[in-house]
A = this chain, B = another copy of it.
Amino acid sequence: MIFRQLFDQDTGTYTYLIADEKTKEAALIDSVRERIDRDVKVLEGLGLKLKYAIETHVHADHVTGAGSMRQLLGDVKVVVNAASEVKCADVLINDGDVLKVGDIEIKALYTPGHTNTCTSYQVGDMLFTGDTLLIGACGRTDFQSGDPAQLYDSIHSKLFSQPDSTKVYPGHDYIGLTMSTIGEEKANNPRLGNNKSKEEFVAIMNGLNLDMPKRIKESVPGNMKCGLAA
């Protein structure tokens, strides 16, 4: 398997490239519109053919590159969760659905709570958690149908239920961490670790008092159109 983690410094967003070495089929998870030239260059440099542009959710902090990738490269399927109302998508994905690039299976895990469209993806022992689970944190739950109790349940039932050695590749990090493991998050995550109860978690999340994301007014409508208009 070819695997690359790519980073957008402006929004702290990770994009992931997963590809099959034999067939050269590739998927990108959470591309960023401003970085598609770089991502196309990486695909070309590795001789890959993009099959899927996958979204973990309707982002509020950046605009996806998925629609632009489809326009540029052709024959790319944009993948979003079925609960979203993203009409420009090609694949509406549900919990347990599997996408294939060559022999590699990318399995969707519906993990609502940060938003009601959040989907994590699993490839072998790697979890691409979007904003559901971040390193030492998690996505906020105060807009876009966010629900801290639901997020707690999603994390516990779909992510923390996996082996401790399972690798966590988040949708963002803002202090230069690139990955973690389920074991580390279960032990050390300040909001969830050390067996925090749902009540403790909900209280933490409801007490965050965060400012709105700077680009929410552009990002959410832009992402509802696969990044093709803001």
Contact = CB atoms under 8 A, between A and B. Distances in A.
A177 B6 CA distance: 5
Interface stretch (A38-46, A58-66, A214-222): A38-46
Main secondary structure, interface of A, reads mixed
Interface in A9-47: 9, 15, 35, 38, 42, 45-46
List the number of copies, as a whole number: 2
Contacts of A178: 4-7, 178
A192 to B, nearest CB: 14
A219 B179 CA distance: 29
A177 B9 contact: no
Contacts of A175: 38
A166 interface: no
Interface in A159-200: 175-179, 184, 187-188
A175 B176 CA distance: 14
9 contacts: A4-B177, A4-B178, A6-B177, A6-B178, A9-B176, A35-B176, A38-B175, A38-B176, A45-B184
Interface of A: 4-9, 15, 35, 38, 42, 45-46, 175-179, 184, 187-188
Given A38-B176, A45-B188, A178-B178, 17 more contacts: A4-B177, A4-B178, A5-B178, A5-B179, A6-B176, A6-B177, A7-B7, A7-B176, A8-B176, A9-B9, A9-B176, A35-B176, A38-B175, A38-B177, A42-B177, A45-B184, A46-B184
